[in-house]
Structure 1
Amino acid sequence: MSFDRNVQTVNTKSSWADIWHLWTVIVPRRSINGQLVCGKVWRRHDGRDWIYKKFTEYDSNDAA
């Protein structure tokens, strides 16, 4: 049996796993800092579990 040493290892992590996306949570979940969050939250997968961050909506007048 021979092995090709030039073959790169396959990355099992999906490309979307590092992207935060907006998600609506009905059942409260723990955020990265331990607080309970529900409603609109940021969510991404770290390869093992889902990670949640509180979503804060800004008024367009306050942002300017």
Structure 2
Amino acid sequence: MSFDRNVRNSRPQSSWTEIWHLWTVIVPRRSINGQLLVGKVWRRHDGRNWIYKKFTEYDSEAA
């Protein structure tokens, strides 16, 4: 019986694994002025791991 180690998962991915959602992240370290570091990222699960992307805000009036 052969086993292919390159196959990640035999089950098909769920539809929710393709959806990006906005996630608030709090980094457990303090900034220069003493506040916790807080930010937003896009987050998606690929069926095995979480994938993160940088979230960039923009001014809708300037666009």
Q: How does 1:1-64 map to 2 (within 5 A)?
A: 11=12, 13-27=13-27, 39-63=39-63
**Number of equivalences:** 45
Root-mean-square deviation (CA, aligned residues, Å) is 2.1
TM-score normalised to the size of structure 2? 0.59
Between the aligned residues of both structures, percent identity stands at 78
After the TM superposition, which segments of 4 or more aligned residues of structure 1 sit over 6 Å from their partners?
none
TM-fit CA distance, 1:16: 0.9
Residues 1-40 of structure 1, C-alpha deviations (whole Å, 9 max, x = no match): xxxxxxxx963x2211111110011138xxxxxxxxx611
Instruction: Please state which structure has a larger fraction of its residues in helix.
Output: 1
Q: Which runs of 5+ in 1 are unaligned?
A: 1-8, 29-37
Q: Which runs of 5+ in 2 are unaligned?
A: 1-9, 29-37
